Amino acid sequence: MMFKDDKQRFDEEKRENSPENYQLLHESNEQETVPEDEEPVLAARRLHPAGMLFSFIKIVKDSIFGIGIGTVAFFRQSPTSALLFIGGLAVLLIVLSILSWSRFTYRVEAGELRIEQGILIRKKRYISLNRIHKMDISANLIHRLIHLVKVQVDTASSGDSAEMELSAVRTKHAYELRKVLKNKTVKTPAPSETDVNEKEAAVPHSIRKITWGRLFIAGTTSGSIGVILLALLFLYSQAGQFIPENIFNDTVMWIIQLSVVFIVGLSVLVLVLIWFAGVLGTMIKYGNFSIEKRANELFVERGLWEAKELTIPFDRVQAIQIDQSILRQPFGFVQISAIIAGGSFDSKEPFPVLFPLMKKKEVPAFLEEFVPGYEHIFQEVTPLAKKGLKYYMVKSMLFFVLALFPVLYFFPQFSWVPILFIVLSGLIGWFIFKEAGYALFEKQIIFQRRGLWNKKTMMTFHRRVQTTEKSRHKLQQIEALASIEISLIGSSGVGTHFRLQHVQDEAANQIGDWFSYRKRQQKQAEWQE
């Protein structure tokens, strides 16, 4: 990681020092008609004292496991030593958080955002304002109570979600910082400032919000129902270990004695509660969702309690993906997300959602308005050749077929269970095969495939594709089949890979030719003749 950063920094320096680039920089400076007032400066500041609290919480959260084990270990010796341990630890952590807060400062100086921190090892991190790609402001419940915000500053490099985080900043100060950064940050594909301003004036900012009705549907079909049911099942199966046996048995007996009507009523109630939890979860996550199109970027805002913001510059959008979960597909609802280079809302969601729920037929218009170029995402895809079907079936069913034999041998009376699963998995395999496909345009490509739950349709541009890889194993070679994979930049350094398995060899070659810069040039040359 270190190495990569160094390397990038080195490249950066090299580029800045090279004569062509000097000229480039120079030119762009001249073009800027907006008067560049003197170097933006922001005096050194500490975080709001609440920052101490946040760093304390963070340390405790990160080391809760160790603390727990330590406490238990001490408790075994004697309760007093456990108390001492916790007390000592608390004092130590409090001192640490106070010290680290007092050592943490940020300022803007000489065209750089400078952050200094560290108690024993002092770390200084200077980021050139030119390299800062975006700055995000968010606020959770605690932040809101004391009128603070969290600031995250991102550069284009490495893709570690947020490069710098200021955990507690007064709202006023955050906007001051934003103003200073805005003046200097990169306006990518480097159009001159006037251009941007004109465009900004010409293009009315379109905004799309989600209705509560739609959110309600999104929550109902969110699939959390399944997850929660599984969790409950797991809890039930584990319950015997934690609850004393007689109580457990008594409860079970009690339930069995109750009338069927009551049991049905109870399970309906449980289901309703689960469904309600799903809806609530979705509302909290996506409440107040809005997406706004600005001149150079998309601006997404969401969250009922914790308002989160995300700015996505257009040139960082690598691909658009449409997800149709098994629960939503029959009703024609989809979710739209973007594959982007660089950070997203959080690490659990590497590819930010551009719209949580939408009717399939509304999608093209939405895409045309917000991310033009992707509006043909529902182009009919070329399905796979029939001969690929068996691979999908085998892959899907293999586990259960193998499981059948031991079950037949040891528990013949239960053999219907694996047989049921074999049939089900066969159906799933058939569906996965049926829905896989690709489509090629002059400049774009569409890959469509089904995971277990989601049908995913991905569309990207030729210039976003990093590499293409075709692979064949022996059987595929004999049958003229192949697997094709295209790689895009992902949010983490490893890239995002899309693979379509068991397509016809000819189709894989066609995709390869579509990607090949050499073949493209040849074709162009032929056209010109």
Partner 1 sequence: MREEPKHLIAVNAIRAWRISAIIYMIILWLLIIGLAVLTYLFDFLLLYISIAAIIGVIFTFFFVYAIPKLRYRRWRYEIFEQEVYIQHGILIMTRTIIPMIRVQHVETEQGPILKKYRLATVMISTAATTHQIPALTDEDASDLRDRISTLARVDEDDV
For residues 466 and 108, give the distance between their C-alpha atoms in angstroms, rounded to a whole number.
36
Told to check if 14 binds partner 1 by CB under 8 A, we report no
Quote the least distance from Cβ 343 to partner 1, whole Å. 14
Q: Which one of the spans 176-184, 296-304, 322-330, 459-467 is the region binding partner 1 (CB under 8 A)?
A: 459-467
- Interface with partner 1 (CB under 8 A), residue from 315, 395, 426, 430: 315
For residues 169 and 51, give the distance between their C-alpha atoms in angstroms, rounded to a whole number.
8
Told to check if 521 binds partner 1 by CB under 8 A, we report yes
Q: Encoding tokens for residue 458?
A: 């991905």
Closer to partner 1 at the Cβ: 176 or 469?
A: 469
H helices of 294-388, in order, are 363-370
Closer to partner 1 at the Cβ: 40 or 388?
A: 388
Rg (CA), the chain: 28
- Interface with partner 1 (CB under 8 A), residue from 517, 525, 526, 529: 517
Report the Cα 104 to chain-centroid distance in Å.
29
CB 494 within 8 A of CB 160: no
Of 310, 316, 311, 312, the closest CA to residue 489 belongs to 316
Quote the least distance from Cβ 249 to partner 1, whole Å. 50
Quote the least distance from Cβ 468 to partner 1, whole Å. 5
Q: Which one of the spans 43-51, 255-263, 370-378, 468-476 is the region binding partner 1 (CB under 8 A)?
A: 468-476
Q: Which one of the spans 201-209, 289-297, 348-356, 471-479 is the region binding partner 1 (CB under 8 A)?
A: 471-479
DSSP code of 32? -
Contacting residues for 416 by C-beta, under 8 A, at least 6 apart: none
Quote the least distance from Cβ 441 to partner 1, whole Å. 18
Q: Which one of the spans 240-248, 252-260, 353-361, 490-498 is the region binding partner 1 (CB under 8 A)?
A: 490-498
Alpha-carbon dihedral 140, 144, 145, 147, rounded to 10 degrees: 140
- Interface with partner 1 (CB under 8 A), residue from 282, 311, 496, 501: 496
Q: Which one of the spans 267-275, 280-288, 301-309, 505-513 is the region binding partner 1 (CB under 8 A)?
A: 505-513
CB 98 within 8 A of CB 115: no
Inter-CA distances, 281 with 229, 251, 269, 303, 481, Å: 15, 30, 18, 10, 44
For residues 475 and 501, give the distance between their C-alpha atoms in angstroms, rounded to a whole number.
13
- Within 163-222, which residues bind partner 1 (CB under 8 A)? 188-189
Told to check if 489 binds partner 1 by CB under 8 A, we report yes
Closer to partner 1 at the Cβ: 418 or 490?
A: 490
Query: What's the number of CA atoms in the CB half-sphere (13 Å) around residue 40?
Result: 21
Neighbour-count burial of 219, counting CB atoms closer than 10 A to its CB (0-12 exposed, 13-18 middle, 19+ buried):
buried
Told to check if 19 binds partner 1 by CB under 8 A, we report no
Told to check if 29 binds partner 1 by CB under 8 A, we report no
Told to check if 160 binds partner 1 by CB under 8 A, we report no
Q: Which residues bind partner 1 (CB under 8 A)?
A: 7, 11, 156, 188-189, 315-316, 341, 463-464, 466-474, 477, 487-490, 494-497, 508-509, 512-513, 515-518, 521
